[in-house]
């Protein structure tokens, strides 16, 4: 590991703070609301299909999730769902948009270690613009980041652009996140390092296999292991 690093990117949702659990809770509430119309497994499947279908229009985030839930509710009930249930779905989504941030273990310590070691530290996240900003503000981690990039998709090109803007290019950058598909693989494809910190909950659309070439790939059990990894680059 002779080559020096200049920038460390951190994913936000389910890397620094809990996120997927709020989607799961809301989805459970959704299943409850539609219990008379669809069994939960079938409903999950239809919702996932709607999310997949709508991703190109809505992008990532809670607002699109709300709209896909409403669409699915109409679909599975063949338009017999009462408006009051739609109202409850909206209320559940708005609840998500207000949920307080809970940092994951070692999140602050990991970001501080990267910052203290002199790396440019960048938050790189998908989702609704305002909602991601709110969560960052609430997290109390804002002042540790040199840059914040809320993007519509995490592609190799996007990583190359971000790490050129905030560091000295993707080859000298490391992306840390829970999504193999969005955080690890495209950062490695851009020429950088990809560090996977798995979270026990993952959205089905974020699934991917680890990279074949593991030269620039690392897997950590949790963020508490990041400071020691960064030491190797100093």
Residues that bind a second copy (CB under 8 A): 54, 57-59, 63-64, 66-67, 70-71, 73-74, 77, 79-84, 86-87, 90, 93-94, 97-98, 128-131, 133, 150-153
Q: Is the CB of 84 or the CB of 232 nearer to a second copy?
A: 84
Cβ 63 to a second copy shortest distance, Å: 4
Exposure string for 213-227, b = 16+ CB within 10 A, e = fewer: eeebbbebeebebbb
Q: Is the CB of 110 or the CB of 160 nearer to a second copy?
A: 160
What is the phi-psi region of residue 78: left when phi exceeds 0, alpha when psi lies from -120 to 50, beta otherwise? left
Residue 207 CB-density burial (10 A; 0-12 exposed, 13-18 middle, 19+ buried): exposed
Please answer whether residues 189 and 212 qualify as being in contact, where contact means their C-beta atoms are separated by less than 8 angstroms. Answer: no
Q: Is the CB of 87 or the CB of 210 nearer to a second copy?
A: 87
Cβ 121 to a second copy shortest distance, Å: 17
What distance in Å separates the CA atoms of residue 54 and residue 219, rounded to the nearest whole number? 32
What distance in Å separates the CA atoms of residue 197 and residue 225, rounded to the nearest whole number? 9
What distance in Å separates the CA atoms of residue 36 and residue 195, rounded to the nearest whole number? 44
Q: Is the CB of 1 or the CB of 91 nearer to a second copy?
A: 91
Cβ 85 to a second copy shortest distance, Å: 9
Closest listed residue to residue 167, CA positions, set 17, 2, 3:
3
Cβ 182 to a second copy shortest distance, Å: 15
Q: Is the CB of 81 or the CB of 175 nearer to a second copy?
A: 81
Cβ 170 to a second copy shortest distance, Å: 19
Q: Is the CB of 152 or the CB of 231 nearer to a second copy?
A: 152
Cβ 90 to a second copy shortest distance, Å: 6
Q: Is the CB of 2 or the CB of 79 nearer to a second copy?
A: 79
Cβ 231 to a second copy shortest distance, Å: 31
Identify the residue whose tokens are 């994951």.
104
Give how far the C-alpha of residue 129 lies from the chain's centroid of Cα atoms, to the nearest Å. 13
What distance in Å separates the CA atoms of residue 174 and residue 193, rounded to the nearest whole number? 4
What distance in Å separates the CA atoms of residue 194 and residue 188, rounded to the nearest whole number? 6
């Amino acid at each position: 590991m002779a080559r020096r690093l200049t920038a460390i990117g951190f994913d936000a949702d389910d890397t620094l703070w809990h996120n997927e659990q709020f989607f799961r809770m809301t989805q459970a509430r959704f299943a409850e609301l539609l219990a008379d119309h669809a069994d939960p497994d079938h409903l999950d499947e239809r919702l996932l299909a709607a999310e997949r279908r709508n991703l190109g229009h809505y992008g990532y985030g809670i607002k699109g999730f709300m709209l896909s839930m409403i669409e699915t509710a109409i679909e599975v009930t063949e338009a017999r769902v009462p408006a009051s249930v739609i109202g409850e779905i909206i209320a559940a989504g708005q609840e998500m948009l207000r949920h307080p941030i809970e940092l994951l273990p070692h999140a602050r310590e990991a970001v501080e270690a990267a910052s203290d070691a002199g790396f440019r530290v960048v938050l790189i996240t998908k989702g609704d613009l305002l909602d991601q900003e709110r969560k960052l503000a609430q997290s109390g981690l804002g002042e540790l980041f040199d840059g914040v990039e809320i993007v519509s998709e995490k592609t190799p090109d996007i990583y190359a652009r971000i790490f050129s803007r905030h560091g000295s290019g993707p080859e000298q950058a490391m992306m840390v996140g829970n999504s193999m598909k969005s955080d690890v693989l495209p950062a490695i494809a851009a020429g950088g390092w990809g560090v996977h910190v798995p979270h026990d909950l993952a959205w089905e659309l974020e699934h991917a296999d680890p990279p074949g070439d593991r030269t620039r790939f690392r897997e950590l059990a949790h963020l508490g292991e990041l400071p020691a990894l960064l030491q190797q680059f100093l």
